[in-house]
Amino acid sequence: MITLHDVYEQGNDTVRAAVLAFGARHLTILDDGPDWKQAEKHFTSVVETIMGSSAPPPPGSTEGPVRRAENAAIGFLLAANSQPNYRCPICVKQRRPPP
């Protein structure tokens, strides 16, 4: 599975900006910069969530479910980056009080 670091390294300037913005949503306790370990875990969780909810591939498709989920997660980063003050969906889910 692709890592957030790999997405940054392989991406263009727009993708890199989206990765940095996602990292900025995961500040360390001391607020001295992004908590990249947590951001990486949450990106992996986004990919896994998408993979678990994705439809089966169309007949004849050579793209596997993991690759499609990775592409969708990168698309999420790009879409979320265009929204001011968006929050990481994994952070939101973890902080939600029990029903």
- pLDDT per position as a tens digit, 23-74: 999 988 777 789 999 999 999 999 989 888 655 555 555 567 888 889 999 9
Report yes or no: 1 and 9 within 8 Å, Cβ to Cβ: no
Report yes or no: 41 and 26 within 8 Å, Cβ to Cβ: no
Number of separate domains in the chain: 1
Q: What is the pLDDT of residues 73-97, one digit of tens each?
A: 999 999 999 998 888 989 888 876 5
Question: Can you state the angle between helices 65-81 and 13-24, rounded to 10 degrees?
Answer: 80
- Token output for 83: 């929204």
pTM across the whole model: 0.82
The domain in which residue 73 lies consists of 4-53+62-95
Task: Please list, in sequence order, all residues whose beta carbon lies within 8 angstroms of the beta carbon of residue 74, skipping any fewer than 6 positions away.
Answer: 7, 11, 15, 18
